Amino acid sequence: MNKRKMHDRIRSFIYTEGRTLPLETVLVLEAPLEIVINDTRRILIMCTPGMIRELVFGFLFTEGFVRDVSQVDRFDLKACPRPGGDEILEANVRISGWTERLGGVAEAGRSSYSSCGICGRDGFDNLAEGLGRVKSRQRFSMEVILTLPEKLSRLQPLYERTGGAHAAVVFDKHGAPVLRSEDMGRHNALDKVIGAALLEGVPREDKLLLSSGRASLEMILKTVKAGFPVFVALSRPTSRAVEAAKFYNVTLIDMAKDSNRIYSHVRRVDPTGS
Domain ranges of the chain: 31-126, 140-270
Q: Is 116 a catalytic residue?
A: yes
Q: Which residue has the higher pLDDT, 3 or 231?
A: 231
pLDDT digits (tens, 9 = 90+) for 24-45: 999 999 999 999 999 999 999 9
Of 124, 85, 88, which is closest to residue 104 (Cα–Cα)?
124
- Identified catalytic residue from 47, 80, 116, 119: 116
Neighbours of 224 (CB within 10 A): 23
Strands 177-183 and 166-172: antiparallel
Q: What is the pLDDT of residues 160-185, one digit of tens each?
A: 999 999 999 999 999 999 999 999 99
Residue 214: count of CB within 10 angstroms of its CB = 17
Please tell me the distance from the alpha carbon of residue 127 to that of residue 116, in angstroms, as a whole number: 14
**Burial class for 222, CB neighbours closer than 10 Å (0-12, 13-18, 19+):** buried
Q: What percentage of residues in the chain have a pLDDT greater than 70?
A: 87
The superfamily (CATH) of domain 140-270 is Cytidine Deaminase, domain 2 (3.40.140.10)
The model's pTM is: 0.90
CA distance 43 to 37: 8
